[in-house]
Structures are given as C-alpha cells and as structure tokens.
Amino acid sequence: MAVVTIISGGLQALLALKNLEKKYTFFSCRQGLYYERLPSIFFGCMAFVAGMLVLTVPETINTRLPDTLEEAEGLSKSPKKVQQA
C-alpha cells in the first residue's frame, strides 16, 4: 500500500472526527440540562476509549523508521523473516 494512501486515509479520519466534535459540542451543553454530570461522563468515556486505542499502535522503540517514501516502499518489498521458536 502506498504511503500517500495511508496518509490521506488518516487525514480523512481526522477531518471526520473534527466534524463530529463540532456537532457534539453544541449538544453536550444541552445534555447538562438533563443530568449535570452527563457531559463529563461522556468525555471521560471518550478519553478512556482513546487511551485503549493507543495500546493497539505497534511499538517502535529501537526500530529504525523510514525517512523517505522510497525507504517506506522498500519495507513492503523486502521479504519478511519468519521467527522460529
């Protein structure tokens, strides 16, 4: 998969989340009318979900990351080594 495709997909996801945030901010004020702590509970749950999603990101400590697109494309073309137990 091309790096540009991955980057554009990530940007599209961020823009979609940004639009949802703008729409929800208005309604979060209204939720406080029904139950005072409801907006805080919702945003706390969203922070928890975001924290759990961060755990799915692969570890990159002591791993050489590509600096250019050519290096990134070379990673997908190189044969993968099978680790033996």
Q: Where are the domains of the chain?
A: 1-59
The per-residue pLDDT for 46 is: 80
Q: Identify the pLDDT of residue 85.
A: 46
Mean pLDDT of the 39-58 span: 83
Summarize pLDDT for 56-79 with one digit per residue, the tens.
877 777 878 778 888 877 877 755
Q: Which of 46, 45, 24, 19 is CA-nearest to residue 32?
A: 24
Q: What is the pTM of this model?
A: 0.48
The residues, ordered by sequence, that sit 6+ positions from 42 with a Cβ below 8 Å of its Cβ are 28, 31
